[in-house]
Amino acid sequence: MFPRTLGLIFWMAVAAITGYWMNPTTGPVLGAFFVCLFTVIKDLWKGQKIAKWLRHNNVQDPPEMGGIWGDLIDRMRRILNEQRKQTQNEQQRLQDFLLAIQASPNGVVLLDPEGRIEWCNQTAAQHLGMDAKRDLMQHVVHLVRDPVFKKYLTSDGHEGEVVIDGRSASLQKTVKLSVQLHSYGESRQLLLTRDVTAVAHADAMRRDFVANVSHEIRTPLTVMSGFIETLQSLQLDAEERDKYLGLMAVQAERMQDLVNDLLILSQLEGSTLPSTNDPVSLDGLMAGIESEARGLSMAQLRSGEEPQILHFESSPGVQLLGASKELHSAVANLVNNAVRYTPAGGLISALWTLLPDQRIQFSVVDTGPGIASEHLPRLTERFYRVDRSRSRESGGTGLGLAITKHVMQRHGGELKIESELGKGSRFILIFPASRVSTQAH
């Protein structure tokens, strides 16, 4: 700044002296005036170039100027570069933040003071059946037409959460959503959605489990209480008394089976995974299961009925690595179910097959009544019964398939069910190669 001032004074002095030689009266003043006017015009021209440079936001291509204007341009360029970098960093952080919200398993919706959608992630769009781009600035109540949600949105307080029905790609699957509103900024709201379908399903299963256990135990207890009251109040001969005691024994055995299965399930859920160092011979396993199945088949055979045809086939020299009792329960449950539900004269085939990838498969095929497709996904639920009256007659507890499923999960295997009404069923257990040993011990 100081050199520029000295230069201006110098040129004004030169112009004044030159003007004095030309006209001693007005020459010095006019000379100094023209120097100032030239300087102002020059500065205005340079200022115009700088304004044009700033207007086009071309920071990397500044006009070339010297002196104070050059210094000013350099400083402005540094400031603009720093601001641009800061803006880019903030934009990148914003993008990273939005990407993190997009990756969230929970839905996030930003609402303006009028309840219109300013932004939402893809999870929220899927939960609520919206389009993340098309539905921007739409009122959320116009898109989520749930009376519970509408009442919640218009209420004064949003401290708790509410559960509403969400959108599902499948007509057979009901999605349950937990939604909650949080206020932020100037009258804006943050809407959070969370898929609680599994939680709601687990809660429903818990309630059903308690109800089913109570019902399963109450029924034989009621029967036994009636028999006991009869024995206490009536004078019965030996034959009638033995008959009632026999029926009471059947009900007691039924409760004992239920308690045993409940204990097995509890042990499966609370114990460590089975070791891979305990070999179980398939020949020995199948020998015991075949004996039980044939005994059960003969016990339920009525006079004049044709016996069932039972076919068992093992895989000689093959051993399973796991818990012997659990494996016995899993396989026996499938075989015994087939025996219970297959009519007299029907065919039941149980066989082991070593697969090419060294996994081993156990399958039970029967010629029973079959199971409708809508029941198949729920067969492994505790106490789930396709036909409750038929299940009572068969004597099952309704926990066999649940036990089998748990055993397979603990051994790293899987349970598959195939069935068709009127043509029978096929239950398959597949054990991983890590649980199979073909070495003789």
Task: State mean pLDDT over 33-38.
Answer: 72
- Check residue 255 and give its pLDDT: 84
Element (DSSP H or E) covering residue 45: helix 27-55
Lowest mean pLDDT among 27-36, 119-128, 315-324: 27-36
Percentage above 90 pLDDT, the chain: 26
- Check residue 117 and give its pLDDT: 92
For residue 190, report the phi and psi dihedrals to the nearest 5 degrees.
-110, 120
What is the length of the chain? 441
CATH number of the CATH domain containing 136:
3.30.450.20
Q: Are 342 and 247 contained in the same domain?
A: no
Asked whether residue 202 is assigned to any structural domain, the reply reads no
Q: Are 86 and 156 contained in the same domain?
A: no
> In the chain, how many domains are there?
4
- Check residue 350 and give its pLDDT: 95
Q: Which domain holds residue 218?
A: 207-271
Give, to the nearest 10 degrees, the angle between helix 67-102 and helix 27-55.
20
Interior CA angle at 12 toward 8 and 16, to 5°?
Answer: 175
Q: Collect all residues with Cβ–Cβ distance below 8 Å to 127 and sequence separation of at least 6.
A: 107, 166, 167, 175, 177, 193, 195
Element (DSSP H or E) covering residue 327: helix 324-341
Tell me which of 271, 293, 320 is where a domain ends. 271
Q: Collect all residues with Cβ–Cβ distance below 8 Å to 160 and sequence separation of at least 6.
A: 180
The pLDDT-based confidence of 431 (bands split at 50, 70, 90) is very high
Rounded Cα distance, 84 and 211, in Å: 66
CA 83 to chain centre: 43
Do residues 132 and 102 lie in contact, with contact meaning Cβ atoms separated by under 8 Å? Answer: no
Q: Are 365 and 242 contained in the same domain?
A: no
Task: State mean pLDDT over 90-105.
Answer: 84
Percentage above 70 pLDDT, the chain: 83
Task: State mean pLDDT over 169-197.
Answer: 83
Q: Are 266 and 282 contained in the same domain?
A: no
Q: Per mean pLDDT, which of 102-106, 110-114, 381-385 is the most reliable?
A: 110-114
Lowest mean pLDDT among 26-35, 241-250, 263-272: 26-35
Tell me which of 170, 195, 220 is where a domain ends. 195
Element (DSSP H or E) covering residue 361: strand 360-366
pLDDT tens digits, 208-261: 777 777 777 887 888 888 888 888 888 888 888 888 888 888 888 888 888 888
Asked whether residue 200 is assigned to any structural domain, the reply reads no
Q: How do beta strands 279-281 and 319-321 pair? A: antiparallel
From the list 125, 162, 265, the residue with the least C-alpha distance to 209 is 265
From the list 107, 39, 38, 31, the residue with the least C-alpha distance to 68 is 39
- Check residue 391 and give its pLDDT: 47
Asked whether residue 201 is assigned to any structural domain, the reply reads no
pLDDT tens digits, 36-83: 777 777 767 777 777 776 666 666 666 666 666 666 767 777 777 787
CATH number of the CATH domain containing 232:
1.10.287.130
Lowest mean pLDDT among 49-53, 88-92, 324-328, 340-344: 49-53
The larger pLDDT score, comparing residue 98 to residue 344, is at: 344
Q: Facing residues of 310 across strands?
A: 348
Q: Are 109 and 234 contained in the same domain?
A: no
Token pair listed for 206: 């818990």
Asked whether residue 376 is assigned to any structural domain, the reply reads yes
Supply the mean pLDDT for the chain: 82
Rounded Cα distance, 336 and 363, in Å: 13
The pLDDT-based confidence of 166 (bands split at 50, 70, 90) is confident
CB atoms within 10 A of CB 357: 7
Computed over its alpha carbons, how large is the radius of gyration of the chain? 43
The pLDDT-based confidence of 287 (bands split at 50, 70, 90) is very high
pLDDT tens digits, 402-420: 999 999 999 999 999 999 8
Asked whether residue 226 is assigned to any structural domain, the reply reads yes
